[in-house]
Amino acid sequence: MRVLILGAAGFIGSHLAQALCRRGELRLADRGAQAISELVLADNRIIMNVPDPGLHMTVRTVQGNVCDPGFIEALFASDVDAVFHLAATLTLDAEMDFSHGLEVNVHALMRLLEQCRRQSRAPAFVFASSISTYGGSLPDTVDDHVAQTPQTSYGTHKAIAELLINDYSRRGFLDGVGIRLPTIVIRPGKPNLAASGFFSNILREPLVGQEAVLPVSRDVRHWFASPRAAVGFLTHAAEIDTAQLGWRRTLSVPGLSATVGEEIEALHRVAGDKAVKLIREEPDERIIGMVAGWPRNFDARRAASLGFTAESSFDEIIRIHIEDELGGRIGG
């Protein structure tokens, strides 16, 4: 089985690659469990954390631009059995550069779908969508029946992709599943161009003794899951029987609804006063305006009934970060 991850240098992509190497197989609904013979990791950045594939798998890294048709075509020189599409330009970048955001998030996706269509056998296709496809005036709890009215270019791009994956799946060109990822915390590394990045920053930096800026008020409520849960969503999506999805191929997966204040309270329970005092409140009207239109809570019973699971407390999310990224230790 040949498996492709686009966006493999990112933190979710790198965690997914490690998980697939540990598993060594995928159980696709239409063909049962099969060993992964080749795992192709593609990104526009150098992939630094290449996992150990063991004896029975080849891991190949490929650096290139998803906007380059030749790069996409080369990835499909041999048929691909499963595709995990995580590559995207993020919220603030897509807002600042409309043309670039559209090229990466929509036009490149369309070329990727066309390569899948040209294969001799339709691949499993797992797409990382986002809860940012919802926006504007929303009910307190959003389910899969609520109309998508994104308030950012990034959210619009993700909604377009969901519709395309629905149609390509309906036509039998691929077997697609979209996952509307909650905001994933705690992201390792440094702040990025995701408008939601501060949700991670106010936990990640204080846990290692560094200051963090909070640009919104503490009563802002949002929808969260851990990187560990995100990897579980993606691998499970590749393996579910898609006949259960009907005509709605994208799922809002389980998560945890919490306020920024509840995040900080959990940080206090886990790391104490010293960590909390490193959070500096500096309101940013641009971020405040974006966050105001985001959903706060989801009814994810549809995904839960299909076996998707996530954390139930922010303490658990913080402890996962300490275990997986900090070697079990906190403090600067």
**pTM: predicted TM-score of the whole model, two decimal places:** 0.92
Q: How is the chain split into domains, by residue range?
A: 2-182+225-252, 195-222+256-298+307-325
Joined tokens for residue 94:
């897509």
Q: Specify the 3-state DSSP secondary structure of 80.
A: coil
Gap between the Cα atoms of 81 and 15, Å rounded: 20
CATH number of the domain located at residue range(s) 2-182+225-252 in this protein = 3.40.50.720
Q: Specify the 3-state DSSP secondary structure of 52.
A: coil
**Common-topology check for domains 2-182+225-252 and 195-222+256-298+307-325:** no
- 195-222+256-298+307-325 classified as CATH 3.90.79.10: no
Joined tokens for residue 25:
């197989």
Label residue 142 left, alpha or beta by phi (over 0 means left) and psi (-120 to 50 means alpha). beta
Question: Looking up tokens 């005092």, which residue turns up?
Answer: 277
For the chain, 332 residues long, give each residue's pLDDT as a single digit of tens.
999 999 999 989 999 999 999 999 999 887 888 999 999 999 999 888 888 887 789 999 999 999 999 999 999 999 999 999 999 998 888 999 999 999 999 999 999 999 999 999 999 999 999 999 999 889 999 998 899 999 999 999 999 999 999 999 999 999 999 999 999 999 987 766 677 889 999 999 999 999 999 999 999 999 999 999 999 999 999 999 999 999 999 999 999 999 999 999 999 999 999 999 999 999 999 899 888 888 999 999 999 999 999 999 999 999 999 999 999 888 75
Give the residue numbers marked as catalytic: 154
Q: What is the largest CA-CA distance in the chain?
A: 59
Question: Looking up tokens 């190497």, which residue turns up?
Answer: 21
